[in-house]
């Protein structure tokens, strides 16, 4: 009795499925641009990420010391993931060219996603790493039979370093360790890496390893190993350093205002009146300084008393010009306020620039530049800004959901399945209603 054989055509290869196994035949497939080999200065096994191999750790430190960055990253993740992940078919209206998203429910897909906690664990971690580092290291695991993608997870990007290119300018390994804790190459464990330019499903099926890392990033602007965030320039040109130091400056000002609350002015004739002119003249310079310091300490002690009340007696002398008397001891209170200044404006301007360059319209986060005096805008404007932001996240969606396409191809799901975020689908509907004024589609079915 012959087995039933199904052929599933994909872009780069053909999956031949039987009831017990998955076999493959290689098609003519594009394997990506010819890579350029980059030499590492120390001849080690790992490709440095940053000059001192600490780029992720530097980013983490900046995020910790500049809370706006953390808030912007969380906001971007929330905007992308709100509504969850959907799968099904995407049809194109032949008359308008509009895409119609038709959501489906598949027990096999649901079981797989629940088994590896795809929505609960993978998506938040993957989206955060993608927006924080512009790199995503997806760990893939085979089942015991070696013919299925059993699950996916997100390795912390800060712990992963790609191996140096081999003679064919290919990266085949990565090394995972606590680099921030001072780990060396010998302390790391290695995993195979797949080439995200070639047929990923074919590579996964052919490999003998049970686990592998799929590095997802865009290699542009001279990058050959790791992607670079659009806001990396803010770290390089000192903008982030300025933003971190302004709160420290304000803290120092507050400490100064707390420590020095009063400025005491003493007329030089006061001492002769206080001690008697003859006695004061007999004091040496050092003795006079001791007497002045003692008086200042007594005033300081009196001024530091809690509560209201107390009195001080000082001498009065007539003014030579108008004969009006004035006190020879004057106590000036320093008001507990921060003066408005350029550094306040610079902080607000820096927040605006940082938010903008991190890929989020500052108005969505509630920021407006102080120097322009503009406001975040009305509620409808905010809705338009959010819609446009999510529409611009299509390539982010493609990278983060790429493991689902791999699972579809390897595990034999419906080859017509497409994957998207519900927020992106809602944004396409909102755009259509606002711009085209056409009913693109009804609710997802």
- Residue 93 CA: distances (Å) to CA of 96, 313, 376, 415, 425: 6, 92, 36, 21, 15
Residue 391: helix, strand or coil by DSSP? helix
d(CA 124, CA 116): 13
Contact 65, 244 (CB under 8 A): yes
- Residue 66 CA: distances (Å) to CA of 128, 162, 243, 302, 445: 17, 28, 7, 41, 43
- Total length of the chain: 445
pLDDT in tens, 242-266: 777 777 777 776 666 666 667 788 8
List the single range of 84-88, 320-324, 412-416 with lowest mean pLDDT.
320-324
Which H or E element spans position 161?
strand 160-162
d(CA 283, CA 272): 11
Contact 175, 45 (CB under 8 A): yes
Burial 278-304 (b: 16+ CB within 10 A, else e): eebeeeeeeeeeebeeebeeebeeeee
pLDDT in tens, 23-67: 444 455 556 666 665 655 566 788 999 888 889 998 998 888 888
Please report the pLDDT score of residue 3 as a whole number: 40
Which H or E element spans position 193?
strand 189-193
Please report the pLDDT score of residue 333 as a whole number: 73
Give 3's DSSP letter: P
Mean pLDDT of 315-323: 65
List the single range of 72-76, 153-157, 226-230 with lowest mean pLDDT.
226-230
Mean confidence (pLDDT) of the chain: 80
pLDDT in tens, 375-405: 555 557 788 889 899 999 999 999 999 999 9
- Phi and psi (nearest 5°) for 175? -125, 130
pTM for this structure?
0.71
List all residues 6 or more positions away from 165 whose beta carbon is below 8 Å from its beta carbon: 35, 37, 38, 47, 171, 224
Alpha-carbon radius of gyration of the chain: 34
Q: Among 162, 136, 158, which Cα is nearest to 46's?
A: 162
Largest CA distance in the chain: 129
Contact 417, 408 (CB under 8 A): yes
Q: What DSSP assignment string belongs to 316-355?
A: EEE-TTT--EEESEEEEEPPS-PPP-HHHHHHHHHHHHHH
d(CA 210, CA 140): 8
pLDDT in tens, 169-206: 888 899 998 888 777 777 888 999 999 887 899 999 99
d(CA 171, CA 47): 10
d(CA 75, CA 70): 9
Nearest-10 Cα torsion for 35, 36, 40, 41? -170
């Amino acid at each position: 009795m012959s087995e039933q054989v199904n052929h599933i055509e994909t872009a780069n290869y053909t999956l031949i499925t039987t009831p017990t196994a998955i076999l493959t035949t290689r098609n003519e497939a594009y394997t990506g641009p010819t890579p350029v080999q980059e030499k590492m200065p120390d001849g080690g096994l790992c490709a440095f990420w940053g000059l001192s191999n600490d780029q992720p750790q530097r980013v983490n430190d900046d995020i910790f010391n500049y809370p706006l960055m953390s808030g912007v990253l969380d906001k971007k993740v929330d905007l992308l993931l709100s509504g969850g992940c959907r799968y099904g078919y995407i049809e194109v209206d032949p008359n308008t060219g509009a895409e119609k998203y038709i959501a489906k429910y598949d027990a096999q897909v649901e079981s797989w996603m629940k088994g590896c906690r795809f929505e609960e664990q993978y998506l938040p971690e993957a989206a955060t790493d993608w927006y924080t580092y512009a790199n995503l290291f997806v760990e893939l695991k085979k089942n015991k039979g070696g013919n299925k993608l059993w699950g996916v997870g997100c390795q912390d990007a800060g712990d992963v370093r790609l191996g140096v290119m081999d003679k064919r300018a290919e990266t085949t390994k990565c090394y995972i360790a606590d680099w921030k804790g001072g780990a060396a190459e010998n302390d790391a464990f290695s995993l195979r890496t797949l080439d995200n330019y070639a047929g990923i499903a074919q590579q996964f099926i052919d490999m003998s390893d049970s686990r592998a890392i799929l590095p997802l990033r865009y290699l542009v602007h001279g990058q050959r190993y790791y992607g670079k965030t659009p806001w990396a320039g803010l770290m390089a040109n000192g903008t982030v350093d300025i933003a971190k130091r302004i709160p420290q400056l304000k803290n120092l000002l507050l400490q100064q205002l707390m420590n020095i609350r009063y400025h005491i002015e003493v007329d030089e004739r006061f001492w002769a009146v206080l001690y008697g002119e003859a006695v004061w003249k007999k004091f040496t310079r050092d003795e006079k300084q001791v007497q002045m310091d003692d008086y200042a300490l007594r005033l300081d002690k009196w001024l530091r008393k809690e509560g209201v009340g107390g009195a001080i007696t000082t001498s009065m002398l007539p003014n030579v010009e108008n004969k009006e008397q004035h006190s020879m001891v004057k106590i000036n209170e320093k008001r507990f306020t921060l003066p408005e200044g350029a550094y306040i404006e610079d902080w607000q301007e820096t927040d605006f620039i940082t938010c903008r360059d991190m890929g989020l319209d500052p108005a969505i986060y509630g920021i407006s530049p102080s120097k322009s005096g503009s406001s975040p805008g009305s509620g409808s404007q905010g809705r338009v800004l959010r819609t446009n932001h999510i529409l611009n996240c299509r390539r982010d969606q493609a990278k983060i959901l790429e493991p689902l396409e791999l699972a579809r191809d390897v595990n034999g799901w419906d080859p017509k399945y497409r994957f998207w975020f519900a927020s992106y689908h809602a944004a396409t509907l909102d755009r259509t209603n606002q711009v085209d004024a056409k009913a693109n589609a009804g609710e997802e079915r």
